[in-house]
Amino acid sequence: VRVIGIDPGLTTTGYAVVDRDAGRLKPVGFGVLRTSPSRSAAERLAELRAGLLDVMVEHRPGVAAVEQVFFNNNAQTAMTVGQASGIALAAAAEQGMEVFCYTPTEVKQSVVGFGAATKRQVQAMVASLLMLDLPPKSPDAADACALAICHLNRSGLNRAIREALG
Protein backbone atom coordinates (compact mmCIF):
# COMPACT_ATOMS: atom_id res chain seq x y z
CA VAL A 1 0.00 0.00 0.00
CA ARG A 2 1.35 3.44 -0.90
CA VAL A 3 -0.28 6.39 0.85
CA ILE A 4 0.15 10.11 0.37
CA GLY A 5 -0.52 12.20 3.48
CA ILE A 6 -1.50 15.79 2.75
CA ASP A 7 -1.71 18.65 5.27
CA PRO A 8 -3.28 21.39 3.11
CA GLY A 9 -2.68 25.12 3.44
CA LEU A 10 -2.63 28.05 1.05
CA THR A 11 0.87 29.16 2.07
CA THR A 12 2.44 25.78 2.86
CA THR A 13 1.12 22.30 2.19
CA GLY A 14 2.89 19.33 3.71
CA TYR A 15 2.98 16.06 1.80
CA ALA A 16 4.47 12.65 2.53
CA VAL A 17 4.44 9.45 0.53
CA VAL A 18 4.80 6.34 2.70
CA ASP A 19 4.74 2.65 1.79
CA ARG A 20 3.80 -0.26 4.00
CA ASP A 21 5.65 -3.30 2.86
CA ALA A 22 5.45 -6.56 4.84
CA GLY A 23 4.26 -4.60 7.87
CA ARG A 24 7.15 -2.11 7.73
CA LEU A 25 6.69 1.59 7.07
CA LYS A 26 9.00 3.06 4.41
CA PRO A 27 9.22 6.78 3.64
CA VAL A 28 9.27 7.35 -0.13
CA GLY A 29 9.43 11.13 -0.06
CA PHE A 30 8.12 14.07 1.90
CA GLY A 31 8.36 17.82 1.95
CA VAL A 32 6.34 20.99 1.58
CA LEU A 33 4.80 22.84 -1.34
CA ARG A 34 4.95 26.60 -0.93
CA THR A 35 3.01 29.09 -3.03
CA SER A 36 4.12 32.59 -4.04
CA PRO A 37 2.96 35.13 -1.40
CA SER A 38 2.87 37.91 -4.00
CA ARG A 39 0.24 36.15 -6.12
CA SER A 40 -3.54 36.12 -5.72
CA ALA A 41 -5.32 33.38 -3.77
CA ALA A 42 -6.68 31.97 -7.04
CA GLU A 43 -3.20 31.78 -8.59
CA ARG A 44 -1.76 30.24 -5.42
CA LEU A 45 -4.47 27.55 -5.40
CA ALA A 46 -3.61 26.76 -9.03
CA GLU A 47 0.10 26.55 -8.06
CA LEU A 48 -0.77 24.21 -5.20
CA ARG A 49 -2.75 21.97 -7.54
CA ALA A 50 0.12 21.79 -10.03
CA GLY A 51 2.60 20.95 -7.26
CA LEU A 52 0.40 18.22 -5.79
CA LEU A 53 -0.20 16.67 -9.21
CA ASP A 54 3.59 16.57 -9.79
CA VAL A 55 4.07 14.62 -6.55
CA MET A 56 1.12 12.32 -7.28
CA VAL A 57 2.23 11.57 -10.82
CA GLU A 58 5.81 10.94 -9.69
CA HIS A 59 4.96 8.56 -6.84
CA ARG A 60 1.56 7.13 -7.84
CA PRO A 61 0.07 6.60 -4.38
CA GLY A 62 -3.13 4.53 -4.30
CA VAL A 63 -4.62 6.24 -1.25
CA ALA A 64 -4.68 9.81 0.04
CA ALA A 65 -5.00 10.71 3.73
CA VAL A 66 -5.95 14.37 3.98
CA GLU A 67 -6.24 16.46 7.12
CA GLN A 68 -9.88 17.11 7.91
CA VAL A 69 -10.58 20.82 7.89
CA PHE A 70 -11.56 22.12 11.28
CA PHE A 71 -12.86 25.50 12.18
CA ASN A 72 -10.78 27.48 14.58
CA ASN A 73 -11.05 31.02 15.85
CA ASN A 74 -9.49 32.52 12.77
CA ALA A 75 -12.14 32.55 10.02
CA GLN A 76 -9.64 33.81 7.43
CA THR A 77 -7.28 30.88 8.04
CA ALA A 78 -10.16 28.40 8.12
CA MET A 79 -11.37 29.69 4.75
CA THR A 80 -8.02 29.36 3.00
CA VAL A 81 -7.40 25.93 4.57
CA GLY A 82 -10.83 24.86 3.28
CA GLN A 83 -9.98 26.09 -0.21
CA ALA A 84 -6.60 24.32 -0.20
CA SER A 85 -8.18 21.11 1.09
CA GLY A 86 -10.71 21.23 -1.77
CA ILE A 87 -7.79 21.35 -4.22
CA ALA A 88 -6.11 18.36 -2.55
CA LEU A 89 -9.28 16.24 -2.39
CA ALA A 90 -10.21 16.84 -6.04
CA ALA A 91 -6.67 16.17 -7.29
CA ALA A 92 -6.51 12.87 -5.37
CA ALA A 93 -9.93 11.76 -6.66
CA GLU A 94 -8.97 12.67 -10.24
CA GLN A 95 -5.86 10.51 -9.91
CA GLY A 96 -8.10 7.59 -8.96
CA MET A 97 -7.07 7.42 -5.30
CA GLU A 98 -9.24 6.38 -2.42
CA VAL A 99 -9.46 9.43 -0.17
CA PHE A 100 -9.69 9.42 3.63
CA CYS A 101 -9.85 12.39 5.99
CA TYR A 102 -8.56 12.41 9.56
CA THR A 103 -8.81 15.12 12.19
CA PRO A 104 -5.60 16.36 13.84
CA THR A 105 -6.72 14.68 17.07
CA GLU A 106 -7.25 11.31 15.37
CA VAL A 107 -3.80 11.57 13.79
CA LYS A 108 -2.01 12.40 17.04
CA GLN A 109 -3.93 9.69 18.87
CA SER A 110 -2.90 7.14 16.27
CA VAL A 111 0.74 8.18 15.83
CA VAL A 112 1.82 9.52 19.24
CA GLY A 113 -0.76 7.79 21.41
CA PHE A 114 -2.57 10.85 22.70
CA GLY A 115 -4.63 13.47 20.93
CA ALA A 116 -3.05 16.52 22.54
CA ALA A 117 0.53 15.78 21.40
CA THR A 118 2.72 18.77 20.56
CA LYS A 119 4.17 19.45 17.09
CA ARG A 120 7.60 18.47 18.45
CA GLN A 121 6.28 15.15 19.74
CA VAL A 122 4.71 14.41 16.36
CA GLN A 123 8.01 15.23 14.61
CA ALA A 124 9.98 12.95 16.96
CA MET A 125 7.52 10.05 16.66
CA VAL A 126 7.38 10.33 12.87
CA ALA A 127 11.21 10.18 12.75
CA SER A 128 11.18 7.10 14.97
CA LEU A 129 8.43 5.24 13.07
CA LEU A 130 9.93 6.01 9.65
CA MET A 131 13.50 5.36 10.92
CA LEU A 132 14.70 8.77 9.80
CA ASP A 133 18.05 10.08 11.08
CA LEU A 134 16.44 13.46 11.71
CA PRO A 135 12.78 14.48 12.09
CA PRO A 136 11.25 16.33 9.13
CA LYS A 137 12.25 19.98 9.60
CA SER A 138 8.88 21.38 8.62
CA PRO A 139 5.99 20.68 10.99
CA ASP A 140 3.71 20.55 7.92
CA ALA A 141 5.79 17.77 6.36
CA ALA A 142 5.82 15.95 9.71
CA ASP A 143 2.03 16.28 9.94
CA ALA A 144 1.73 14.84 6.43
CA CYS A 145 3.93 11.89 7.45
CA ALA A 146 1.71 11.42 10.51
CA LEU A 147 -1.43 11.45 8.33
CA ALA A 148 -0.01 8.71 6.11
CA ILE A 149 1.09 6.66 9.15
CA CYS A 150 -2.34 7.15 10.79
CA HIS A 151 -4.04 5.75 7.70
CA LEU A 152 -1.65 2.79 7.47
CA ASN A 153 -2.07 2.04 11.21
CA ARG A 154 -5.83 2.07 10.92
CA SER A 155 -6.07 0.09 7.74
CA GLY A 156 -3.54 -2.43 9.12
CA LEU A 157 -5.64 -2.78 12.26
CA ASN A 158 -8.83 -3.21 10.25
CA ARG A 159 -7.16 -5.90 8.15
CA ALA A 160 -5.89 -7.72 11.23
CA ILE A 161 -9.39 -7.65 12.73
CA ARG A 162 -10.91 -8.99 9.50
CA GLU A 163 -8.33 -11.79 9.40
CA ALA A 164 -8.78 -12.64 13.09
CA LEU A 165 -12.55 -12.88 12.57
CA GLY A 166 -11.91 -15.24 9.66
Please report, as ranges, the residues that interact with a second copy according to CB under 8 A: 40-43, 45-46, 48-49, 64, 66, 69, 71, 75, 78-79, 81-87, 89-94, 99
Question: Which lies closer to a second copy via its Cβ, residue 66 or residue 147?
Answer: 66
Question: Which lies closer to a second copy via its Cβ, residue 4 or residue 126?
Answer: 4
CB of 58 to a second copy, least distance (A): 20
Phi, psi of 69 (to 5 degrees): -65, 135
Distances (CA, A) of 6 to 21, 40, 43, 161: 20, 22, 20, 27
Active site residue 143: no
> Could you say which of 47, 58, 140, 143 is catalytic?
140
Q: Is the dihedral of CA 114, 125, 147, 41 positive or negative?
A: positive
CB of 118 to a second copy, least distance (A): 25
Active site residue 47: no
CB of 56 to a second copy, least distance (A): 13
Question: Which lies closer to a second copy via its Cβ, residue 14 or residue 27?
Answer: 14
Question: Which lies closer to a second copy via its Cβ, residue 50 or residue 160?
Answer: 50
Active site residue 163: no
CB of 13 to a second copy, least distance (A): 12
As a whole number of angstroms, the distance between CA 47 and CA 54 comes to 11
How are strands ordered across the β-sheet holding 98-102? 24-34, 12-21, 2-7, 63-67, 98-102
As a whole number of angstroms, the distance between CA 144 and CA 33 comes to 12
As a whole number of angstroms, the distance between CA 142 and CA 81 comes to 17
For β-strands 12-21 and 24-34, DSSP reports them as: antiparallel
Q: Annotated catalytic sites, by residue?
A: 7, 67, 140
